Structure 1
């Protein structure tokens, strides 16, 4: 069985001190780095996504000066800014594919983005014959949830490494994990 690691949006704007920082974001980044140090060789692909919003656009209404925190958000992960970069606690040297999503439009799942060479996550998984994905990253109740649901929809066996995710708030994060388990994901 082939396996990939999907690292979702471990960026400065989503970790402590960022525009939409979540508690535990830095620790999640450091934990993912430890996982990579010990187990990078266990994966046939290591794919990391980043929100990468256009600087001169509302990105399809996703970015707003008066956000509702459901469909619209304050400015975050603007292409070319420090907030869009990977968190400094995340060692990116083992990552095989970098995905940018949300360019000019809202995007929560890494399956909505493309790699630097224009490939989709689904294409990378198919090309490498990957059948199982481990999902880690930020935020459990938004982009981790959307990515895991899309991975299930693409026929992957999905494991959420629950010690390596951080969410916006406890209740919606717990609800997201329950939804994912109900949809067929394994919580590990």
Structure 2
């Protein structure tokens, strides 16, 4: 990687799942294209990361997060249902070779990757700390929601945090602009993936 090579960096691939792509329960326009771009980027730059982590919405009984009359702010139609095809990683990521998989939102909203746990029961912060990671690049779906929440939590946990802007997509342009402003104010660096890996 070109920047801050003194500290191990992780790639956090947030919620790149069919449920958030075209045709899914909460499909985002451009989701399939983001999945393809993330897969290509990860394949080309895997050796630049000490750790690659995926997160997935894996809802079982998330309470008020699901609603038959959702407001699309705090409540949503059912999505990311555990063990369903829509909750699996997007097919484009079949060759990703992630080191760790984080499942989140089983019994709550679980917007942030830091709300989830891996198969051994470790929270994302523990996964990163165990690997000696102090910096993260965040990509995935949707920029305005789970990418935003994960990046903000990463900063709160003390990680040097970047969002690679061409490897994510918001629910709407307006929500994306608001999320980017909030992330920048919090100290998240926003940059295209080509700049993140420039020699």
Shorter-chain-normalised TM-score: which range? over 0.9
- Using the alignment, how far apart are the partners of 2:95 and 2:75 within structure 1? 29
**Partner in structure 1 of residue 80 of structure 2:** 77
CA deviation string 1:78-104 (max 9, x = no partner): 111111111112235420000000011
Are 1:29 and 2:35 an aligned pair?
Answer: yes
Structure 1 gaps, min length 5: none
Match of 2:57 among 51, 60, 67: 51
* 1:6 counterpart residue number: 12
Residues 1:134 and 2:140 are matched in the alignment? no
Any conservation in 2 of the 1:3–1:131 contact (CA below 8 Å)? yes
| Secondary structure class of the residue paired with 2:64 | coil
Q: Does the 8 A contact of 2:112 with 2:149 survive in 1?
A: yes
Aligned pair count reads 185
1:105 deviates by: 1.2
User: Aligned-residue CA RMSD in angstroms?
Assistant: 0.9
Q: 1:90 and 2:93 equivalent?
A: yes
Distance in 2 (CA, whole Å) between partners of 1:92 and 1:148 is 24
> Secondary structure of the residue that 1:114 maps to in structure 2?
coil
Partner SS for 1:146 = helix
1:109-138 Cα shifts (integer Å, max 9, x gaps): 000000011111100111111111000000
1:2 and 1:132 in contact (8 A); partners too: yes
Alignment of 1:124 onto 2:130: no
Using structure 2 for the length normalisation, give the TM-score.
0.91
**Once superposed, which parts of structure 1, at least 4 consecutive aligned residues long, lie more than 3 Å away?**
none
| Partners of 2:183 and 2:163 in 1: CA distance | 9
